[in-house]
Amino acid sequence: MDVNVEDIINVGKNLYNQGLVSGKAGNISIRVKKDDIDVIAITPTFISLNDLKPEDIVLVDLKGDVLTKGNPSSELKMHLSIYEVRDDVNAIIHIHPPYATGFAFSSKKIKRLEGFGKIGIPFLEEIDYEPPGSSKLAKKAIEGLGNEDVLILKHHGIICVGDNIKEVESLAKFVEDIAKTQFVSHMLSLTEDI
Ligand SMILES: [Zn+2]
């Protein structure tokens, strides 16, 4: 099976170096469709996205059976559930970037800005908290995501999905940027001279 794990490693380093993920948090996966079989390449558990080596990337099938060695991310269920229902999705990033996650830990919603998706609703979709790695989180995530490309997980982080990993990487950066912009504009409006 020919899977380009270098793409995952590069994106992991980019996300880490841009401050979008830290410690050993976050997970990335891609789907490779070959004949009738979907193979998912996913980052492992307990290794920083900044330190990944090709042999660390775990290959699984859609049922979650591990095809190589290693322990897949604890959010494997969430990734698989999304691939199961979204045939258009071939890459997923889940991270806890500081500004977007700050919103997720507050009652404030992140406004949609022009640049991705259709502007049908004013805020990014979000779902209530479920424990990380749980089946409940996986189930709520696919319901909340619907046909969207971004989902805010309250009291946790964000999920971005798309056709390819580079596209999803820029989407993740974009979500963090709009959260930062909204935060800055809110703070400035609080301190404006009367
Ligand atoms: Zn998480």
Place of tokens 């469709």: 33
Distance 194 CA to ligand 1 centre (A): 41
Distance 134 CA to ligand 1 centre (A): 11
Distance 191 CA to ligand 1 centre (A): 33
As a whole number of Å, the end-to-end CA separation of the chain is 64
| Distance from C-alpha of 157 to C-alpha of 153, rounded to nearest angstrom | 5
Q: Is the pLDDT of residue 193 over 60?
A: yes
Burial (0-12, 13-18, 19+ Cβ within 10 Å), 25: middle
Total domains in the fold of the chain:
1
Cα dihedral 90/61/146/73 (nearest 10): -90
* Distances from the Cα of 79 to the Cα of 55, 58, 74, 84, 128, angstroms: 20, 13, 10, 9, 18
Distance 25 CA to ligand 1 centre (A): 6
| Distance from C-alpha of 41 to C-alpha of 26, rounded to nearest angstrom | 15
Instruction: Summarize pLDDT for 6-59 with one digit per residue, the tens.
Output: 999 999 999 999 999 999 999 999 999 888 889 999 999 999 999 999 999 999
- Percent of the chain residues past pLDDT 90, beyond the cut: 87
Pairing of the two strands 150-153 and 126-127:
parallel
Active site residue 75: yes
Q: What average pLDDT does the structure give for the chain?
A: 93
CATH number reported for the structural domain that contains residue 52 in this entry: 3.40.225.10
Catalytic residue (choose from 75, 125, 130, 176): 75
| Distance from C-alpha of 93 to C-alpha of 165, rounded to nearest angstrom | 8
Distance 27 CA to ligand 1 centre (A): 8
* Distances from the Cα of 134 to the Cα of 28, 38, 49, angstroms: 17, 23, 21
* Dihedrals phi, psi of 42, to nearest 5 degrees: -135, 150
Nearest to 12 by CA among 41, 48, 59: 48
Residue type, 56: D
The model's pTM: 0.94
Domain range enclosing 172 = 5-191
